[in-house]
Structure 1
Amino acid sequence: MRQFSRRLDMIKPTIFSHITNLANEYNAINLGQGFPDFDGPDFVKNAAKQAIEEGKNQYCQSIGIKELRTAIAEKYEKFYGVQFDPNTEITVYSGATEAIFSTLFALLNPSDEVILFEPFYDAYRALCYFTGAIPRFVRLAPDFSIDFEQLEAQVSSKTKCVVLTNPHNPMGKIFSKKELERIGNICSDCFIITDEVYEHITYEDPHVPISPISKFRDRAITISSTAKTYSLTGWKIGYSLADAIISKRIRMVHQFVTFCTSTPLQHAMAEALRAPKSYYETLKQNYWEKRDLLNSILEDAGFKTFLPQGSYYIVTDISNFNYKDDVQFCEFLIKKIGVAAIPMSAFYSESGPVTNLVRFCFAKKNEVLEAAGERLHKLQ
């Protein structure tokens, strides 16, 4: 039998499938996977229905319908005071992960190096391996601080780009403008890719986008999505904002990956992006309430928690429970307690695994979080 692609040799099955299958088997409350158990707003769903009824159901431009690209440009100017040309600098994809895929394949050659801040969204490492690039890791401390000396040590003449989530998944850190500038200055000859899908799920401090930092404009790529903001994760609509020269190269990859994404759903999202600022304030307040509710539940159950600045995850330290392996603890939690969480070792490199951290998702109805709390109380 002929050999399979060696690109897959470094890829492991995602932990999410294992945890979800186990949660389903034991009828556990799933606070593992990062999607809401409540639906998106009616005005967006109605816009999708209208687009379908109006016959907007065929292929569209590969780069996305003009209405959506224009709405994205208008939103970024309204919220962040930065202008992008919807014709040359904004591209629409089938989700943010496809945007990252297309971007990395447009930028990287085999043996190029990529800086990842760990813990990292697990797709980043896998996509680096697919391109033949080599990931280099900089570890965030539990208090969210960056070891800039470690970053400087990892940057070399081979470093092509740096990828980070802001707000961060899974730690919930918001990178400050000062931190972004220092990262960009250290990685002075690199592309900077910021995954900003949680931009509207922040708490005490606002989101800090990279796009208004003008000195990085010709090498920064902003990637975002409508999934988290509008609680419609199954629609898979992402987008990028980047200099026209960069965007042209990314589009060359994208056209041969998915070509285009769902036409009627793009029309609906063009409506969604024009929502008043009150929508985003309500979203923020609802998640703030859920964050504080789950944090209180976890602390009462004996977890040490790291309160997120953004996103809808809480990372916890399980050292109090005398488990040395986070995967085993999560399996115990499902089988004996009836609650599913994600072991954080899946988000770290093998060179220095972390096995005492577990991630919980609070994008759930309050009654679901409270029911999970009743079960977690058995840990005391």
Structure 2
Amino acid sequence: MRERLTVPASAVDEQRVRQAVDTAVSSYDPGSAALSAQVSSGVVRHVVQGLLGLAIVTAAIFIAVRIQLAFSSSPAPAGFDPRSIFLIPIIIFMLIGALLATANLRRAWILRTPPFVAEEQWGLLRTTLTQMTGQEPGSSRPLDIEAGRRRDLITHPGGGTVARGATRDGRMGPTWPDSSDIARLRREARGRAAKAAVIFSCFLVLGSLVIGSFVRLGVLPVLPFVLLGSGIAAVVIIGSMRVCDRKLLAHPAAIPGEEQPYRLQVEDIDVASLEPWCAARRREDTWRVMTAAFWPPMAVGFLLAFYAFAHFDTEAIFDSSPSAPQLPLTTPVIVSLTIALALLTLAIGHLWARHRDTERRRRAGLV
């Protein structure tokens, strides 16, 4: 939502206001700030996704070039070459990677202004207009709403004040989302999860078409890609369920801060919310442990896929009896080691989560 400052037309001339605003904006110097404040998490996420898209394009081009070189080294049939069908899914994969890179890098460029710069400019304009008119300008963000003392009428038509509990040392605790906030956050989280699921499904289908064609030809083993794909799918599903968790949305781990989100500590929580907040943090750690349990399949699958591509023979595609590169270990051994690593990760993660929960509750005085 766009924010605005307004001043009475009778208090000052419009041209003077525009000149003062332009002068204030042009003379603004953001100075120096920590790197974490200069770069928002949204920008980093979009840059990483954009680089992932570029990596997909690069990989698709590499595979297409190798296949084309293999085509040129063998006689082509007269008329339509059926071998060119192999290039169709690769080209589609390349186009999707290019679209992903373009969309995310464009979004990162739009979000390049750090949050603290926008807030400082907002305060600078407010000060400038106050000095010109001799009174506080009207704001689309009233101070009591900014401070969390009153609900925003746009998001909460009923309005009303915000009840905040006291912490153990007498300070005011954070403002927790109410039922309407939680419902809105869940809708937004489900929307993001649905978009991520659609994008992941497209990549999964295209990847299955590309890799599956080589597996059916017998030039690549299937196990590495099954491990890698299942691990990534599990991580995506768990992540989607985590962001929609009502308990985590009702008692978040961080709240909006002046320059960047402020991560809450036990000492910042009001007494009445200590128990549900600790339970939410335990649930959050449980989701992390469940995600970490699928890291071993992803890691093993990635290493085996790298090994298979490193020993990939392009000319074997056109052999009458092609053979896939032999993996360093047999399939039962690889599967057993992967399961053992996953169970070990799960056990260590469970102990880690329980230790963190015990320590957190001890600090909160609940143990």
TM-score normalised by length of structure 1: 0.18
Q: Flag the structure with higher helix content.
A: 2
The structure number with the bigger radius of gyration is 2
TM-score normalised by length of structure 2: 0.18
Q: Return the structure number with greater relative CO, CA threshold 8 A, min gap 6.
A: 1
Q: Flag the structure with higher strand content.
A: 1
